[in-house]
Amino acid sequence: MGKNILIGITGSISAYKLADVVSELVKQGHQVQCILTENAREFVSPLVLETLSGRPARSALFGADISGTEHIELARWADLFVVAPASANVLARLALGLADDLLTTVALATQARMLIAPAMNTVMWDKPVTRQHVKTLRERGAGFIEPAAGTLACGEVGVGKLAPVEVIVAAINAGVAEQRQDLAGVRVLITAGPTTTPIDAVRYITNHSTGRMGAAMAEEALRRGAEVKYVLGIDKGVVRPVAPKGAEGRLTLAEVRTAEEMAEAALAFLPEVDGVIATAAVMDYRVAEPAANKLKRGAQAVSLEMVPSIDVLGALREAATGQWFLGFAAETDDVEANGRGKLEGKKLDFLFANPVARAGDKADTGFSVPTNGGVLLKRDGASVPFAVTAKADLARQLWDAIA
């Protein structure tokens, strides 16, 4: 059965993409209504949105044909309130609880869950004040569709592009899906993000992982009633899981940097859990002897001795006392064959293998992108393919497969 989707569109050049979002949602049987800020009207025609949705595209708080309670009616109509694209200005107004136009007034009045898809220049997205507004909104229960990386409208390259249409649609569908509690009472340990290995006092080596997949798996587990112990390797740009309202007490977060620290934290949690999900991208090698001071630049080449770091997943599997295991494998070649080798070599119950781009190439699966897809391999030899979709949607599908 279709849901009532209220979409607030703000002044971003990517606003025109919402026409495709509206069209797809209507095709899927949802009822859609749009609210535009005055600036949004400069980038997308209300007539286009009205034609696609079959409902008026609203903008004004006051007018001859507008009742004094229209904002309340819209607020109560919505099963989900989506703000996309969300500009830096509107993020700030939402975080501060301002209500100075129709969009922000409805946002303050509605009790529907809010789902926000930001779009802005990388510098604006990375500003501490913007990050604080995002943090505030997350803490109030808003969901976020992370912006994508790529060439921005200004010609610069970075994070800030509106997420792809298919990702937004998938996130909306996940947001209005009836939430099962089939994981109530389940305790799970999730490792996520990158690990680092120091070179000297100021430099280190790491990889491209942002922890998005792990965060998606954790948030879906929490929504379905699980208790989550979460060990996150931290670096610039990592994504931390945000517990849904009412589930805050079921999330325990430990932040680490090196593989050795991750193993120590994860092993401490292991006796308390029923299963392990290993999404972390652990460095296979570490610098043998990091310099205690800053290495100075010289004219000669420098060699680093790299030695194997601890196998975090292997250490957990060896210490296990009956827990089930789901591993992840990011592969550039022979994805399924290499994944099957890891599944068997580490004696896992499940392994999700996904392709990642080779150096210099781009891919819509793997690191630093909001989408993922691949194949779930099972211990009994079965394999289940998963099409590329938003990581939040993939997390839901993976939990459906293993729950």
| Omega prior to 85 cis, within 30 of 0 | yes
Task: Measure the N-to-C terminal CA separation of the chain; round to a whole number of Å.
Answer: 24
Residue 205 backbone dihedrals phi, psi, to 5 degrees: -115, 140
Cβ contacts of 135 within 8 Å, gap of 6 or more: none
Q: Is 305 exposed, middle or buried (0-12, 13-18, 19+ CB in 10 A)?
A: exposed
Locate tokens 């827990």: which residue?
A: 323
Residue 2 backbone dihedrals phi, psi, to 5 degrees: -70, 155
Name all contacts of 126-131 with Cβ < 8 Å and 24+ positions apart. 126/159, 127/88, 129/92, 130/88, 130/91, 130/92
Tell me, what DSSP letter sits at residue 224?
A: T
Active site positions, annotated: 154
Separation in Å, CA 336 to CA 259, 274, 312, 383: 25, 27, 22, 9
b/e for 331-347, b at 16 or more Cβ within 10 A?
A: beeebbeebbebbeebe
Residue count of the chain: 403
Neighbours of 28 (CB within 10 A): 14
210, 239 Cβ separation under 8 angstroms? yes
Nearest residue to 213 (alpha-carbon basis) of 351, 392, 388: 392
Residue 155 CA to its chain's centroid (Å): 25
